[in-house]
Every structure is written in C-alpha cells, then in structure tokens.
Chains A and B, each alone.
Chain A
Amino acid sequence: MSASSDRGSPLSPPRSPLSLGRVGVRCVCVLGAGPIRIGQACEFDYSGVQGVQALREEGLRVVLVNSNPATIMTDPERADATYIEPVTADVVAAILESEKCDALLPTLGGQTALNVAVELAERGVLDRLGVKLLGASVEAIRTAEDRERFREAMRRAGVPVLPSVTVASLAKADEAAAVVGFPAILRPSFTLGGTGAAMVYNRDEYAVAIRQALAASPVSEVLVERSVEGWKEYELEVMRDRADTVVIVCSIENLDAMGVHTGDSITVAPALTLTDKEYQVLRDAAATCLRTVGVETGGANVQFGVDPATGEWVIIEMNPRVSRSSALASKATGFPIARIAAKLALGYRLDELENAITRSTPTSFEPALDYVVVKIPRFAFEKFAGVADTLGTSMKSVGEVMAIGAGFEEALLKAVRSLESGRVGLGAPPHVAALDDEGLGERLRIANPDRLWAFAEAVRRGWELPRLARETRWDPWFVHRIASLVVAERVLAEGRDDGALLAAAKRLGFGDADLARIVGGEEAEVRARRTAAGAVRRYRKVDTCAGEFAAATPYLYGSFGTLDEAPPRVRPAVVILGSGPVRIGQGIEFDACCVHAVAGLRAQGRDAVMVNCNPETVSTDWDAADRLYFEPLTMEEVLDVVAREEAEGVMVQFGGQTPLKLARGLAAAGVRVLGTSPDAIHLAEDRERFAEVLGRLGLRQAPGETVFSIDEARAAGSRLGFPVLVRPSYVLGGRGMEVVFGESELASYWRREVVATPEHPVLIDRFLERAVEIDVDALSDGHDVVICGVLEHIEEAGIHSGDSSCVLPSVSLALEVSAEVRRIARLLARELGVVGLINVQLAVRDGVVYVLEANPRASRTVPFISKATGVPWASLAAQVSCGATLKELGVHDGVPAGVAVKMPVFPWDRFPGVDPLTGPEMLSTGEVMGLADSFGEAFAKAALGAGLKLPLAGAVFLSLADTDKSRAAALAARFEELGFELLGTAGTVATLSAAGIHAGVVRKVSEGRPHVVDRMVNGEIQLVINTATGSRAHRDGIAIRRGALEHGVPYVATVPGAFATAEAIAALRRGQLSVRPLQRWHERVRIGQSFKS
C-alpha cells in the first residue's frame, strides 16, 4: 500500500445537485389493487406500503383507495386519508374531487389501478379536476397494454417481436391463423395475469379457443401470436428516471421454458445461463423498450424469449408498473422498487436517492448478487375438482415462496421446503413415485406443479440427462444440477455415518428433515450429527452489492459459510414466525397480523425478528421488522434463527397454521413460545379434549365423532343422522371439508379425500342446516378478555367461514343470543388459557348457540375487525404475549365504526368448467370490505369492490332448491318491490304462483332451447339467483352458474345472499354511494367512547 499518497482523502461520496424540476404536487391519490386474486396478490400491498411511505416523507398529503381490508397499506396510520372503498373509476373520481387531489399514482396497484387510471383519463375526469397522472402517462400505459401498439412501437425501435395478428372478430380469425401459423398462442387484450390465454396446435383447437379468448377480453380483442414454446424466458426489472438513467434491478431466468406463465414458473435470479454479451442484448433492449413506450419514470418489467439453440431472441411484453416480478426482484436484491418508483414519479433522479440498504451509495446502480434466489409457485388445484393441473399461459398459482442460497442447489432445496407441501426435499410424493414410465414422461413433458418431483423420480429411474432436458425443456445446466442433487441422495444414504459427508450435504442445501429421510433416523439426530461435524448455519447479508460496500440493513439469509454477519444483539429479541406462501385459506390477513405484531413488540421494548419466505409480502420488506431472516419456516431453520438471535421467545399465533405446526416441536426443543401455550393450541385442535372442555363449561356442540376408518365413519353417520359435516383434522381453509348427505356419498368422499391425510383422523359432525354462523374474535391477557368483534355470516352454516360474506355488527341476532355468544367466547378464552387472540366459530339455530370450533390464534378476520373498529388487535395481542395486561393497555371491547361487510372473491375465471359453488372447503382467494352507515350500502360497496356489477333494474332469474322454496315468495316479492321482472325455472315459478306471485318460465339447459343461458347471452337476464343443496353429484344448475359467470351476469347462490343483494340494490337505487375515509370512521368510535367514559 506504498503508492497511496494521502490515502482515502480524495474520496468522498459526492452530493448530487438537487434537481429543480420536482413535480409540483400537494396531494397524491394512490390506488391499491383491491382484493387478492390469482395474478394480483399481496405484492401490491408491499408496493403500496412502500409507495405511500415514500410520498409522505416528502411532506405530501397521501390519499389511499383500496377495498382490501386485510392489507397493511390500509392501516389508518399509513396514509393521511384511507378509503376502504371499491377501486372503480366512479368511486375514485368522487374521492379525487372531495379530497381535492392534484395527482394520481396508479403504478403501484397492479392492473386494477392502471385500468381505473386509463378510464378516468378517457372520461376526462383527470383533466376536469386538474389531476396529474404520476408514474406513467396514459399514452405509455396504452402502448404497453395494447399488444398491437406495443409490437408496432418495438418494430419501429428495431426490437424483434413475434409474428402476430390482432383479431377483433371471428371473421378475421382464419386470416390471422394463416399469417401466424401453429403452434400459436391466443392472448385476450386487457385481462389480468393472462386470463383466457391459450396455446393451440392445430386449426380445430384454434376455432374453439379463439371464441373463448374473444369473450374473455373486455374489448373483444385477441392477439394471435406465433408460439415460442420451449424458448428460454427471461425477465428484467428496470427503473428509469426523468434524466433517462436506466438501471436493471434484477434479471430473472425462468426454469420453465416459454409457454408457462411466469407467475407459474419456477424462476431463478440472477439469470444464470447467459453470457455477458447475451445479457447485455437484453439489457439494451429493455432500456430501449422503456424509452420507446415512454415510461418516463418508475419501474417496469420486460420479458424476453431466447432460442436456446441459436440465441435468436424476441421481446414478449412489458408492464409499465410494479408487478409480482418486481416484488420478487425487490426481495431478491434488497432494492426497494416500489419506494423508488414513487420517488421517481415525483421527479427525483436515481442518483439523488440513497440506497436504503447500504445507506452510503446512491440508488443509481445495479444490484450485484453473490447468492442465488429461487422462486417456486404454490398451487391450489386440489381444491378444484375435475380441473387438470396443467400449467400454461394463464396463471393458476395462488402464491409463491422464495429462497436465498449461496448457490442454485441450496436455494432450490430451501424453496422446496419453504413450500409447505409436505415435501422436505426432492423425494417423490407417492402419486408421482407410482407413475409408470409413460406417465412419468408425461409429467415431465407437460408443465404441472409436480414436475420437479417427477424429474427427481426420473433421475432415480436412471433416465439420461439429455432425455430429461428434452422432455422438460429446462436448460441442460439446471437439469445437470438438479439431477446431481438426486444422485447425491444415494451417496449420502450409503455414507450415512460420515460426518464430513453430512456437512457437505448441508452446504449443498439439504434440510435436516430431508437428510433424515435419506439416511434414515430422526431429524433431531441428523441435526446433532451435522452440528458436531461443524455444519452450523451462519447468516449472510443481502446487501445489493455482493459485499463491496458495508450494508446497514440487517436483511439476512442462512447458509453454511465461514462468516456470520448478523449484528450482535443489544436489546431483547422476539422472533415472529410468518405465514409462508399465500394459499387459499391462509392469505394476506396473516401477514398483516405478523406486521402488526412487530409494532406490538416494539411497544414492549423488544426487537422484532421476522422469519418468512414469501417475497410478495410486507413482512419480508427490509424495514418491516428490526431484522429479517428470509428463511423457510421449518423446525430446522427456525431453531437456528432463535439460537442465533438469542431470542427471548417466539410468536406463533400470527402466521396462521404454518407456525402453529411448529409450536410443539419448538417448545420441546426448549424454545419459549410467547402467548398461548402450545399445549392449549393443541387442546383446541384435539376434538376429544376440546369436547371435554365444552362439556365442563356446559356449552353445546353439534354432536360429532372422530373416526379412523370408513366403517367407523358409516356407523357414525347413521348414529348422527345425515347430513353430516366431514373433515380431516388439522386443516386450515376447510381443506377436504364437505357436507355429506348420505352413506354412498360418504364412501366416495372417503375414497377421494381421506387418502390425502392418512395419519390424521376424520371428524364427523351432524350438520346444522339453516343455522346462522358467527365468528367471534377475542383478546385475552390470561386474566381479562375483551371481544374484538362479533361477525355474523350472511350465508348459512355449511359454507366455509372464509367464503361467507360477513357483517359486523350482526344484523339479525337477538340481543340475548348476542350476549350469549360473547359470554361463550370469554369463557373459552379463559378456560383454554389464551394469552393473545382467539377466534371462536359458533352456529345459532332456533336461538340455541352451538360451538363449532375455537382457534387460539389470530384469525383471518382480525385485520377486517381492526379496520371496522379502529383497534390494532394483532399488535395488542403481541403486547399481551410479552406480558402486558389489557388494563395497562387500556383496551376495551371493540365498537364497530359503522356497518362493515366482508365479501370474498373467487378464482372461478381461472378454472374453466369448475362449478362456481361454495361449500365447507374454502375456495376464495381474497376479500373486500364495504363500510357504510347501512347494511344495504355496505353490502353494495362490498359487491362493487368484489367486481360484482349489481343491476338496478331488469329481470331476475330465480331457481331455488326445494329446501329453499319456503322462502321463495318473500324473496321474489322483495325483487318485485324493487321493480324487477321475475323469471324462474318451472318449479320455482310454480311455487311463486301458488303464493300469488307471477313470474315467467325460462327453460333449464336440459329442457331445450332457448334456455336460460341463451337468455343471459341475449341480455335478457340481469341477475341470477340459483341455490343448490345436496352433494356435488346431485347439484344441477352448474350450467346456469357457469353460464352466468362466463357471460358476466351477477349470480347469487344462497337465499340469505339474495336478500342481502336486494338490500344492496335498494341502496344503490337510492343514489350514489357515499365515501368516507377510515380515519373519520374511527374518529367516530373514539368520540363515542369518550362520551361513555
């Protein structure tokens, strides 16, 4: 170091001159993405939270609109005014006007927000109100979204695109096919996550698919494009500022070749199989694309296809907004894309903004990764009977996991165990291992959720690598590396006593549980042996710069290197276990609870340490907790984090079923579980022990039994009397839960569902028909109990609580019933020794209250109740779990600020042919909230937010199950009152005419034409009310429900739902819905309480 003259002093990070052209705005309206759907999930909560914070730091007033109450972004302290209202053009226009906003930022709220922004611009609303569109111009949005315009722009810029033709009518379809050739892909314009897209290989398939695709597009426009199935797919996450500095935040390589939606692909970051020259081609083209489309500031995602044989490449598409991929890129690199996008939209330049991870370098740089990130999507095909699990161009996954490893192998294996699919590694699940070679080949050739495990099985059977590469169309490098892990298993099994080998296996990424499977023995044994062999997990920082600069933010992942970068502990720490991948039944609500728990821990003077593996969430944001461990939620990884952090304890009650499954194991390993004890949690899950508790407390329960065989089940069924509710124990989201109406159906249920969970018994309860279902959430400090809220389900018992519409406060419960419900919740909370939250589900029939179940943990409804009552329940629960008392905290029973309705949304459009009917198994992906002064208005808002376009007039078609016919007259009369024309099936019409109500008869589909679907297509039916009872096999009316769904006619499937819909329509007919920010609703509660005290 001799040559250094006056070393270091010539160096000082330069200040950028402050830019002068900052956008002059005062009040920005930020649009959220609405309910969680397939293709538009909680990544937009993460982006909204970052964006809102970034804007408020600038002293701007931020107005937020989002109908999704389970988001962190809608917490009232996040924005200045928070509207939990439908994200529609009308509602947003009203808010822009009343809030006097002068800017609208639509690029953080997914396709929903972009569509609303375009509509507002087209209707002249933005001009009329003088509202400036930030982040993307309407012109840029149109160019990016309209495929033909996009391709034309790319052609002009010299960027290669695929041969394609836009078809706007059936007449032009043949012509298009002739130009494009086969295989071809059909992409409807303006749809979400590739809905309705299809791959066709011949003319016949094309003739069918083009019709469906035209119907799927809201503008009846379809892009017919040459398919490049089998090409490699890459994505670049790009940011651009107004000085035209462009940076690539992250490159992502899809393991699955083109033809599988990127949301459904296993993806890897950074891109691994490109040389620098080839990568720079894509980098240049991505920058050209942004410049050409006119994305002046902010982030965008650009997708490319590359022919692995020749290097020929094309640009596929570009999204001028933050996206699921940008959420992944953010988490993969530590670069806060949404935050920076918001700043750039205000006119900042990248070099003026600080890299929030290093806090010493500017944002105008490209992250360098010294690790590999693997994302694996999570699917829910098992919930949708009869749907093929084939993956294609229309996204089907409901969630995803991300894992970080020192290399691809470690990242892949960590991602596999993060999935919580019951697979600890690459061991084939029984249904894959059972395939013959032909079946296995098919599982390799056709993309599906099991392909990775089918691949491993094929390696075990000795299939040659070139064949595997040919079948899967995975890059030979990935084929080699994944195969090597399977080959490794065999060597590990043979060398099972070799500690050095075990340590090497840990470096490759094998989990302890997986090694226990491979070498035999218990997981704990493996853990002890590998630790003794020196394989101790150490933590590395995700620092955006591959170690070149010191990083200030403790964002960590585990690996088996030589260095541990976790900072020393100064304050006591508590570990919060997150909820892992989003799945149906365990969604964003639990992530919201985890994030709230952070606030609670901080209030109690603890450092909050987050462990989670979901890249879409707020909880895995670099500043959500005091420390973030991006790790799988397995026993092994959690124990390691707890040990490294010398944590005082672990919080398991906020992340849904994921942490609960670990609770007892953690306790057994000597980890302190804060809050409700693992044993109490288990007690509530154990039917026999729970029944004892209820008996002791004198509480009623629907009679039921626990059975282990079909014979026991039959006997139980006849003892209890059909219908019965059957379900496997230990499930969330009602997986496998059904109402069964007879013995033969019970047998078929057993064959279908019970194989899935042979180790757990099955619970059989008498089904309480026509009962009103109640959800109560309560908070206990082990001594006092407060009631957070009492939710009444609108649909009757038998529909999963997550799939029911709910209202808070209840609208039909008698006062004494209401009091009884609260008493029961308090009693159970005390008896179970709950410290924290408990959710109790009850059914009320004929004034009698039955306990259905109790879950001593934060439930799905907690964020909703928090929004409705203005109390951060999960945060308080975290405080209570640390030892605070409700008295100290000054917590009282929750008081609803207005009438709040929660309504689920369903992914029916993703699963063609599925009967869109709800039952005891949860199928919804998300929810919306409607908050208003009256039930009708609240329900109308919720319906609007859920995308249900309720008619104000026209014809209502009624087709009621026999069991519902007693209520037919009242229902029909209500719609008649509202001025609707009444139509119905012959049976329903007969029932009505007996009650003196006239209705026109419409044929069922089976009764010849023109039938009800024809009438829907012709626009003669505006609302369908179709109720069904009985088993799947006996339900008719699938054609009616599917027809309504496919032709955009709103339909209601239950009688109470129909009455509620009538009230909503009545409210809509009274005039425009009023909007009010959450902060004002909550103020009302506070004022009310101050009067009381």
Chain B
Amino acid sequence: MSRHAVGNGARVGYPAGPVDSSLLPPILAGPRRARLALSDGTLLHGFAAVRAAWADGEVVFNTSMTGYQEMLTDPSYHGQILVLTTPHVGIVGVNRDDQESGRAWVRGLIVPDLSTAPSNWRSEGGVLERLAAQGVPVAWGFDTRALVLHLREHGALPGVLDCGGALSDGELVERARAARGTDGCDLTGEVGCTAPEGWSEGPWPGWAGSGGVGGWSDPGPRATDPGPRILVVDCGVKRSILRRLVGAGADVSVVPPRTAAADILGVEPAGVVVSNGPGDPAAVAQVAETMRELLGRVPLLGICLGHQLLGRALGATTFKLPFGHHGGNHPVRDEATGAVWITSQNHNYAVDPRTLPAGARVTMTNLTDGSVEGIAADELGAEGIQFHPEAGPGPHDALSVFSRFLERCRGEGRGKRGEKDP
C-alpha cells in the first residue's frame, strides 16, 4: 500500500486525506499471490484471501450461481478443493440457517471474486472469516473459467492450493502429483456422526407462501403424531435432507455410517435413508454391505453417495464420470412420467446401468449425458436418487421424492395420501 501514498488528489477532484483502503478494490491494494498446482503439472495464479499455508485435495468445480455457504458446508466436498464459477462470492455473507453441517468441509476455495463486506438481511458474518477461522485456504482472482475448461478436458484432478507462497512452483507441482484424489477413498468415517442423534429442525420457514411446490410447506400432523421413524445413515448428510424429511412429516434420527444392519433394524424404523457423502463408492464397501442386508426388510432411499451404494448393494458397479456433475441446473427425466426436473447435483461417480441386476431399473436419467440419476428395486422396496432432491442449494423441483418415500414408509403405497400409520 505504501506505493499508493496519497498526494493531494487534486487532478480528479478528491478531498484531501488518505484513501480509505477498505474501499479500494483489492486488486489495487497489493494483494498477495496464490497458486494452484494440478497433478498434471498445470500451474495457475490468483490472489490469496487468507494467510493459511496450503491444502491439497481433488479440484472440482460447481457452476451454481447461488448457495456457496451450503456448498462449503456440504460434507460431500470433504477432501476437495472447490472452484466456484459464479462471478461474485460472499455478497450475502453467511448465516445459521444456510449451514448444511456444523463446519466447512472443503479443503480449499477458489473463486473469481470474493466479497468481504456482506449485504443481506440474514447475514451474520462474512464467509471469509468463517473459512479463515478453520484454516481453509481461500483464493480469488483466478481465471476460474480457464480452470473449468481445463478440468472439463482432463477430468477432476488432485491439486494443491497455496496461499502462503513459501514453496517453489516446482515443489508445489510435486505436492500436487503426490496429492490424493478421492478414488479408492472411503471418507464417510471422517464426516459422518459418531453416535446416534435425533433431528427435529424442519425446512426454512421463509419458504412459506411461494406456492406450495413439492409439498414441503405442510409438515403434517406432527403435534400429535411423531410420524414414521426414519433412520438416516450419515455418510456426510446435508442438513437439508434431514429438514426435508422433518418437513414431510418424519421422525428423524441420524446414525453413524458404520452402524450395523442389525442395529438399524433393531429400532424398527419405518424407513432408512442412506445419505450423500464424499469419496469413491467402490471404497465404501461396509455401508454397501449394510444396505444389502437391509434390502427387502425396510424401505430404503439412497441419496447421492447413498444411491451409488444402493447400486453396489444390488450388484451393479460404479464408475467415475469424466468431470462429474456439479451444479444447480441439471435436467433429469423421470422415466415413468416423462417429467423433467431441474436438479442440484454434486457427484463424481455414477452407477453403470448396464450392470444393474434383474429386478432393478433406471428410474431417472440425466438429459445432458444420459447418466443414471435414479434407480429402483421395487420388489426390495429400495430406490436411489443420484442428485440432491433436498436442494440446498438448488431448485425444489424434486422435493416430492421425500413425501413419496414417506408414503412408502407409512405402508400407504400407491397414492393413499393422508392416512395415519396403523
């Protein structure tokens, strides 16, 4: 800043006095440099928003234009460096209601531009302070579009984000080469809860009045009836899933990812949800095995990682997508009705439909690349949804997934909406 020492400012008609540095665009305020090294040797430059040294992880991008707080706190991003393409991040700050878990999970954050002075009536603070407090490296001023085009071509790559500057470029690239991706990793134990917990918070009340889309607005007769007991196997669950279940009228409990099938069945749940979470489904064998044991014995819903694990429990294989689905605008077609939903997505792996066994079918398809977005094994009472029907962030088109699942759990089956459990 010293090189911008103030003169009299007369030529453009300013009052005398120092420049208010809080008002100066950060790019003119001598920002410190940040670097991102990818495992293929690519090195990109931007600016550091924090002094945290460095972090490695799999570099993934998300094209959603809203919902950075939800993404940062989504446990599915554990082990990943998140690149956001939306031009400005941080404008609306952070608040309690938009947390998807108790903390930020991303290993690092790269954005085109970062706002540190939030403006929103719900804001309780800036996103940067939150991340900095957790030691997450945050960088801005990267050409995120160039980075996305690179990842689109070469796939999600491990990388190292450096905000400290102590390492040489060569050392950084070496570390990127050594960084682990998510392939072959079971990360659920690192993000899931460690003991069973109850959950009672419902959907955000601010949604009331926007038209009753998806049936979430009526939490049902909860005051007198606790609703069907739903156990959520927490592989890194987003709170929105829990809130939506509560909103649809469920009595929700969360259990650790390694809870045994017998223990799950022991509490006689009306249904079991296996949540989203980070990592390679092929490596999360234990949860898949648990699901296999649950098949046919309790209604099952797998979401995202839970969906992939359901596929594996049924005997199908999973594979890694070229660059994953990370955005809030993916069209998904319901194969039964032809309805198209705009969905929120965040996954790198998918179920290979050619390996699904008899008795299992593809229920939903991604219209951009034809990948599987939903499967069902009707006889076994199991369904999987690859995208995020709970949104948070993203469109609400698929919220009916929860009410339909609860109907199944209530044993009401085909359309007998509104009746109580016997």
Contact = CB atoms under 8 A, between A and B. Distances in A.
Interface in B167-207: 183-184, 204, 206-207
Interface in A446-478: 460-462, 465, 475-477
Interface string B242-285: 00000000000000000000000000000000000000101000
Contacts of B122: 275, 278, 311
Contacts of A350: 331, 340
A276 B148 contact: no
Interface string A161-178: 000000000000000000
A4 interface: yes
A13 interface: yes
Given A461-B15, A504-B27, A547-B148, A277 B119 contact: no
A67 interface: no
A277 B145 contact: no
A211 to B, nearest CB: 36
Given A244-B339, A364-B340, A311 B206 contact: yes
A354 to B, nearest CB: 11
Contact of B148 (A1, A278, A408, A548): A548
A285 interface: yes
A1 B320 contact: yes
A1035 interface: no
Interface stretch (A188-196, A266-274, A845-853): A266-274
Nearest to A311: B121
Contacts of B204: 277
A371 B144 CA distance: 11
Nearest to A433: B13
Contacts of A1031: none
Contact of A7 (B61, B69, B322, B342): B322
A276 B392 contact: yes
A309 interface: yes
B85 A547 contact: yes
B394 A276 contact: yes
Interface string A472-501: 000111001001110111111111001001
Nearest to B44: A562
Contacts of B113: 407
Contacts of B330: 365
A491 B340 contact: no
B392 to A, nearest CB: 7
A79 to B, nearest CB: 31
A10 B352 contact: yes
A366 B28 contact: no
A158 B209 contact: yes
B67 A1 contact: no
B396 interface: yes
Nearest to A6: B319
Contacts of B28: 488, 491-492, 501, 504-505, 508
Given A365-B368, A368-B328, A494-B6, A14 B333 contact: yes
B52 to A, nearest CB: 24
Contacts of A6: 319, 352
B63 A490 contact: no
Contacts of B322: 7-8, 11
B397 to A, nearest CB: 8
B145 A370 contact: yes
A548 B63 contact: yes
A158 B207 CA distance: 11
A567 interface: no
B122 to A, nearest CB: 6
Interface in A355-397: 360-362, 364-372
A275 B120 contact: yes
B421 interface: no
B214 to A, nearest CB: 8
B9 interface: yes
Interface in B123-171: 143-146, 148-149, 152, 155
A351 B366 CA distance: 11
Contacts of B23: 465, 480, 483-484, 487
Contacts of A475: 119
Contacts of A549: 152, 368
A744 interface: no
Given A245-B340, A274-B66, A561-B143, A488 B14 contact: no
A274 B92 contact: yes
Nearest to B207: A281
A278 B206 contact: yes
A618 interface: no
A367 B331 CA distance: 11
Contacts of B20: 487
A281 B317 CA distance: 38
Contacts of B67: 275-276
A280 B209 contact: no
A276 B66 contact: yes
A17 B365 CA distance: 13
Contacts of A461: 15
A310 interface: yes
A565 B115 CA distance: 28
A160 B66 CA distance: 23
Interface in B297-326: 317-322
Interface in A64-86: none
A5 B106 CA distance: 27
B56 interface: no
B7 interface: yes
B374 interface: no
Nearest to B366: A14
B12 interface: yes
A7 B207 contact: no
A418 B86 CA distance: 24
Interface in B319-356: 319-322, 327-331, 333, 338-342, 349-350, 352-354
Given A462-B15, A491-B24, A158 B117 contact: no
Interface in A956-992: none
A309 B27 CA distance: 31
18 contacts: A4-B319, A17-B338, A276-B67, A276-B394, A280-B393, A281-B206, A282-B210, A284-B396, A350-B340, A368-B65, A406-B112, A476-B119, A484-B25, A487-B25, A490-B19, A493-B12, A545-B63, A565-B149
Which 4 pairs between the two chains have the least Cβ-Cβ distance? A288-B211, A276-B67, A276-B393, A276-B66
Given A3-B184, A351-B331, 13 more contacts: A1-B320, A10-B352, A14-B370, A245-B342, A275-B98, A311-B121, A361-B367, A407-B87, A460-B12, A490-B14, A518-B12, A546-B85, A563-B143
